[in-house]
Amino acid sequence: APVVAIVVAAGSGSRLGGEHPKALREVAGVPLVARSVHQLAAGGVGVCIVVVAAGTEDAFEAALGDAPVPCAIVAGGAERQHSVANGLALLDLHGGLAGAEVVLVHDAARAFVPPDVVVRVIAAVRAGADAVVPALPVADTIREVTDDGPSALVDRSSLRAVQTPQGFARAVLLDAHEALEESGTLVTDDAAAAEYLGHEVTLVAGAREAFKVTDPFDLVIAEALVARGQL
């Protein structure tokens, strides 16, 4: 059975500005969502379920016209978690995907994730991990702030920044999202969803290139690196 990736692209992208969904923004003429699907496919993903804002389906269909793997497009929800849940619902619906044992969840905005990160995530799930996230050490020194009290230094050596794609045994991800929906709990990523059911989260090495294109500064960096052949 193919490895399935749910690619979430239903965010507004308000920090980037512009009227179009962020995942449709182009870097060197290629939409971010198309770059994400291309990188995932190069790392071993066989099918993508792309979750987009309602009403933008046609534009995404066009942006993914040349995708190297089959892509299904489905409307997302108000929060990222709901968007993932909508993607999972499609996974359940599609007979052909019912056999998928490894399911990844990827932010479309991490459009330059190197294939070897994807390979590491899939391999760790195949090796028996319930939930796998790519992560990097934190470069900045971090201070924790409160509204009134003094700020506090956090031990940076114990911190990791988490990226996507995150990988899961299919049943783990399905059960976790079901449990969150039943209890009305919101989490910010899918590893936290798995953790909610008590599953351990396994870390593999992430990559700088898997940065999330969030604001105009990131687009400038992306354009420059692509122009230099480094992405």
List of residues contacting ligand C5P (CB under 6 A): 8-11, 23, 51, 76-80, 83, 107-109, 212, 214
Minimum Å distance from CB 46 to ligand C5P? Answer: 21
Minimum Å distance from CB 176 to ligand C5P? Answer: 17
What distance in Å separates the CA atoms of residue 31 and residue 207, rounded to the nearest whole number? 21
Q: CB nearer to ligand C5P: give 201 or 213.
A: 213
What distance in Å separates the CA atoms of residue 135 and residue 92, rounded to the nearest whole number? 29
HEC sequence for 208-226: HHHCCCCCHHHHHHHHHHH
User: Phi and psi of 109, rounded to 5°?
Assistant: -70, -15
Q: CB nearer to ligand C5P: give 123 or 207.
A: 207
Minimum Å distance from CB 11 to ligand C5P? Answer: 3
> For ligand C5P, which residue has the nearest CB?
11
Nearest to 125 by CA among 5, 209, 36: 5
Minimum Å distance from CB 109 to ligand C5P? Answer: 4
Q: Is 192 left (phi over 0), alpha (psi -120 to 50) or beta?
A: alpha
Q: CB nearer to ligand C5P: give 62 or 152.
A: 62
Structure tokens given for 158 = 């114990």
Q: CB nearer to ligand C5P: give 33 or 47.
A: 33
